[in-house]
Amino acid sequence: MNGPVASLNTAWFALLGLVWTVYFVLEGFDFGVGMLSVAIARDDVDRRLCRNAIGPFWDGNEVWLIVAGGATFAAFPLWYASMFSGFYIALFLLLVALIVRGVSFEFRGKRDSRRWRATWDAALAVGSLVPAFAWGVVFTNLVHGLRLSGAGLFLGNFWALFTPVAVVGGLASLALFVAHGATFLSLKTSGPLAARARVTSMLVSPLGAALVAGTAAWLASGGPPGPGLVGGTVPIALAAACALAFVLSGVLVRFGRDGWAFALSALGIVAVSAAVFTALYPRVIVSRGPGPALTVWSAASAHYTLVVMTVVAAIFVPFVLAYQGWSWWVFRQRLIRPVPQPGPAPVTSSPRPRQ
């Protein structure tokens, strides 16, 4: 297939890749900070600093997930249907985790109770860990391949998703998001919390790089060929660029160059996301039989639908980007741990003299 129809299908596949990339870059540090708010925080002040660091951004960042889901449903309905047939339980658990995570921001301060706050701190950590791992499993499976029927529906069950390579891919995304969140905390906070975040970034960044490189090599050695498959050099090179970016990010954090370190960790996530979508194209789900793979042509909507979506995207996406840029500018200051102020000695009442 060629001409404007094929070009528009490819353009929407690329646009979806861009939307998912923005989501992973922005929500990635949210997930990382959510997990680290329990792992490296030492007291309630540290945990509140972690929440305040991502508080102005997390709900805006999740808009990109809504955009990605809605655009996938409208532009590639068969891809959307196949993903929900194959990943239904996994996506359901992921959405529950995201809901619990969002509720934790609202409920934590509703009661003055240490146990109550600890419960919602744990909810934030778990609600961040589950999607950080699950997204790696999902996208590794898309590249590695699923058993699809002739109609493009998944033929396995929930546990069939957790192949060894998919688990390693999930651990890779988990490590990348932890490192990305730690780098963000080192940039956004100060004092002992920022110091612990730097140490975490220095330790986890090389681990994430190694897991990404290992997953890419595993997929390159075991992935099935397909029509129009992009040569393995491009995805492997992008995965290697991701690994290098995270290694350099960990080095820069050590020398206090937090801004450059965060930029490199974000660039690393861009590179690994590009590797995934480059390895997929022109397919949207690789098939391991008996049915054929889903492609950008077989899974796409009608041409007129894509034209209307293109016009809508051209109008509204700039507003979303402008809002995100404005929020980052307004909340650009580094958070400082409050210093306890000495106050006046408490006044004690003496008993009244008897009349």
What integer pLDDT is reported at residue 208 of this predicted model?
95
The pLDDT of residue 180 is above 80: yes
What integer pLDDT is reported at residue 325 of this predicted model?
84
What integer pLDDT is reported at residue 352 of this predicted model?
47
Q: Strands, E, within the chain: which ranges?
A: 146-148, 283-285, 287-290, 294-295
Q: Which residue has the higher pLDDT, 346 or 278?
A: 278
Share of the chain above pLDDT 70, in %: 90
The pLDDT of residue 345 is above 80: no
Torsion on CA atoms 279, 283, 288, 290, rounded to nearest 10: -170
How do residues 263-311 score in pLDDT, each as one tens digit? 999 999 999 999 999 999 889 988 887 888 888 988 888 888 889 888 9
How do residues 68-104 score in pLDDT, each as one tens digit? 988 899 899 989 888 887 788 888 999 999 999 989 9
What integer pLDDT is reported at residue 223 of this predicted model?
54
- In the chain the first and final C-alpha atoms are separated, in Å, by 104
CA atoms 29, 34, 39, 43: torsion sign: positive
How do residues 10-61 score in pLDDT, each as one tens digit? 889 999 999 999 999 999 999 999 999 999 988 888 888 888 888 888 888 8
Q: 91 with 135: CB under 8 angstroms? A: no
State the number of CA atoms in the 13 A half-sphere of 311 facing the CB: 5
Q: Which residue has the higher pLDDT, 7 or 248?
A: 248
Q: What is the mean pLDDT of the chain?
A: 86
The pLDDT of residue 150 is above 70: yes
